[in-house]
Structure 1
Amino acid sequence: MNKLAEWGNQLYTGKRSYPFTQKHRLWFLIAGILMIAAILVPVAKGGFNLGIDFRGGSEFMVSGVQNTQVSVGEDVVKNAADGAEATVTNIAPGTMRVQTDRLSDDQTISVAGELAQAYEVEASEVTSNFIGPTWGQDVSRQALLGLLVFIVLVGLLMAAYFRTWKMSAAAIIGLLVVIIITAGIYSLSGFEITPSAIIGFLTILSYCLYDTVVVFDKVRENTKNFDQQTKRTFQQQVNLAVNQTLVRSINTSVVAVLPVASILFIGSYLLGAGTLKDLSLALFVGIIVSALSTLFVQAPLYYQLRHGDEDVQKHNKKMEALDA
């Protein structure tokens, strides 16, 4: 514990420093490669794995179940609906949800009866309904609209709060990096895109914004009247700010990731709470990517946007003259 405290103190005082801004080209290259890969993954897989809410289909709910094995429902649908694929989820104790592509009326009746027999419940315990793709399209449209409004408001808010559009631009670009990489990893996992996943994607943007504001607030504090001091260059002041907030960023991320990881790995895989997988995966990946984006993309990018400013260049020449 003392070593961790000493490490944090060294970061804050500048005795120990990690080159976040100095190696910005490397970080940007890595981020660019990850973004390209994240874009290519769904393209190579033929698109995202859309849930029934977005593509439409038939859904069955089976209550009072003792045997909650998903293979039971999958086999029933395959045998009763001419080899149709099904997504079976244990959504609550004793309740199974079976989703498949749209079935005919005869197939729906057949599958419902077979599910009742396979899960050893009364026929009245099995309900079925058809979900049209229109609802999912409306959700997608509203989510996209919400994302655009969020980005615009974030840009205006940060420009007003920090009194510079360059911090706002760096923050928005960082948000886009988080969205693209998180979406790519989500697609790679093969998980379905559901309304819960959309909620998860929108939630991580708020977390990313919070982490960004914490770091940028320290950057603003360190670079205030930077041209009047002769100890560090503008780049070094920005890098010091990132190092000073590194411990806080790590602590915040760990505290946020641990409960989400519990939901994802313990709740979803060990306990079989399948309805939590989509939401928890989006949050788990998004929180980690958000923290990394703030440290390795947004802060170095802000320095790059300010690097060519007249006051920064003038101060750099002043520092070079003093070092000569």
Structure 2
Amino acid sequence: MSESNNSGKDVSVEPEVRSGLTDSGVDQSTMPQHSWLSRLYTGTGGFEVVGRRKFYYALTGAIVLIALLSMLVRGFTFGIDFEGGSRIQFPSDGNVDTSQVETVYNNAVGFDPVSVQTVGSGSGATVQIRSETLDDNQVNSLQSALFDAFQPKDKDGNPSASAVSFADVSETWGGQITKKALIALIVFLVIVSVYIAIRFERDMATAAIVALFFDIVVTAGVYSLVGFEVTPATVIGLLTILGFSLYDTVVVFDKVEENTRGVLHLTRRTYAEQANLAVNQTLMRSINTTVISVLPVIALMVVAVWMLGVGTLKDLALVQLVGITVGAYSSIFFATPLLVSMKERWGPVSVHTRKVLARRATLAEKGAPVAVAAGAVEAPKTRKAVKSAPQPGVRPTGKRNKKGH
């Protein structure tokens, strides 16, 4: 469709940018709109993510800075598998108070234990003590003191000092687990980078890997900040969350690739606008996936902590809960905006974006209304009035003009 300007020349104006009015002359901005929840569910919310990427970069940077400062200042609370020491445990009837155990321990060896916790409940409860490495005299003294105080029973149900068991744990085992985990992480990142580069493109692979590093740093920072104990189960759980984060990112990137296919041959939308549309279309899916993934993890934590008292399950659940939440954030609010920023700095996308903005500026100077999609950088404003663009979530009126269109 074309219009004539003052010079008599025809100016091509696409239908969706000509006017903010319906065919019957009703301003669409005054029409009833769907609720934000309805627009979120249908993917038509027009929520600004890519267009506000500077804000999300600042937020992401602040989160990373807090995580790094916590790791440098507070450090980590490493489990016995990383620091070494002695592990003492004995069965109880579930009524043993940990403070009493600490008192008996201190009186027997002359210093406090590293930690005391009760695992399990009822007749299957076990008291576990984590301690510095003890010599033979300290072991004998502590074994006698714990037996006299709590009368633990052996497998036959008879009180016996042998029910108090001791085990020395070397820190080298935890170091070996960490070394193997780092090797697995490097191999994983290389394979993932190659796959995404082949399946999608190099820039998407770079953005996805940067988002994965963000997930690792923030998850580790949360463990440092809150004081969660780092165990081999934590390291294993950290590797499992990377797959979830990558899955969510690839889903969004797949939609970005679909929306931006052929965009460089048109001047209606920029790459950023189409990427923001992809984020809106996959936002509800990401939320659903995250909620569905978090619920069984929370259930696992309930079973591990309150019912069974299994420390390994608790460690796995904690790292997965933190990692899934962080991964959902990074795939939506960091990976996609980072991809757009990389695209717009150089190459054909940068040229195309400038061309689209220049066209909009020309239309605005001629008085033609310009509809700017979410995620766009607005063209320079002129003194001439610009009519309202259709708003996201506008409900069609169903009215027709005199021609029946």
Task: Tell me, yes or no, whether TM beats 0.5.
Answer: yes
Which of 263, 273, 280 is the matching residue for 2:317?
Answer: 280
Cα distance in 2 for partners of 1:285, 1:252 equals 15
Residue 79 (structure 2) pairs with residue 51 (structure 1): yes
Does the CA contact (< 8 Å) of 2:218 and 2:326 recur in 1?
yes
The Cα offsets for residues 40-63 of structure 1, whole Å up to 9 and x where unpaired, read as 112212x21111101100011213
User: Counterpart in 2 of 1:145?
Assistant: 183
Which of 131, 134, 138 is the matching residue for 2:169?
Answer: 131
User: Counterpart in 1 of 2:13?
Assistant: none
Show structure 2 runs of 5+ residues with no match.
1-33, 153-159, 364-405
User: Counterpart in 1 of 2:389?
Assistant: none
Amino acid in structure 2 at the alignment position of 1:279 = L
Cα distance in 2 for partners of 1:50, 1:245 equals 38
User: Counterpart in 2 of 1:245?
Assistant: 282
Amino acid in structure 2 at the alignment position of 1:55 = E
Amino acid in structure 2 at the alignment position of 1:37 = I
Amino acid in structure 1 at the alignment position of 2:48 = P
Residue 157 (structure 2) pairs with residue 157 (structure 1): no
- TM-superposed deviation, 1:321: 4.4
- TM-superposed deviation, 1:211: 0.7
Which of 71, 78, 83 is the matching residue for 2:99?
Answer: 71
The Cα offsets for residues 214-266 of structure 1, whole Å up to 9 and x where unpaired, read as 111111111111123343210000011011100000001011111212333x3
Does the CA contact (< 8 Å) of 1:67 and 1:119 recur in 2?
no
Which of 69, 73, 88 is the matching residue for 1:60?
Answer: 88
Aligned residues: 317
Does the CA contact (< 8 Å) of 2:207 and 2:335 recur in 1?
yes
TM-score normalised by length of structure 2: 0.73
The Cα offsets for residues 113-168 of structure 1, whole Å up to 9 and x where unpaired, read as 22333333122222111111111111111111111111111111111111x11111
Which of 252, 256, 260 is the matching residue for 1:223?
Answer: 260
Does the CA contact (< 8 Å) of 1:72 and 1:119 recur in 2?
no
Does the CA contact (< 8 Å) of 1:87 and 1:100 recur in 2?
yes
Residue 169 (structure 2) pairs with residue 169 (structure 1): no
The Cα offsets for residues 189-229 of structure 1, whole Å up to 9 and x where unpaired, read as 11211011111111111111111111111111111111233
User: Counterpart in 2 of 1:183?
Assistant: 220
TM-score normalised by length of structure 1: 0.91
Cα distance in 2 for partners of 1:278, 1:234 equals 42
Between Structure 1 and Structure 2, the one with more helix by share is: 1
Greater Rg over alpha carbons, structure: 2
Which of 138, 148, 155 is the matching residue for 1:107?
Answer: 138
- TM-superposed deviation, 1:103: 1.2
Cα distance in 1 for partners of 2:320, 2:134 equals 33
- TM-superposed deviation, 1:302: 0.6
Residue 120 (structure 2) pairs with residue 87 (structure 1): no
Does the CA contact (< 8 Å) of 1:90 and 1:272 recur in 2?
no
Residue 297 (structure 2) pairs with residue 260 (structure 1): yes
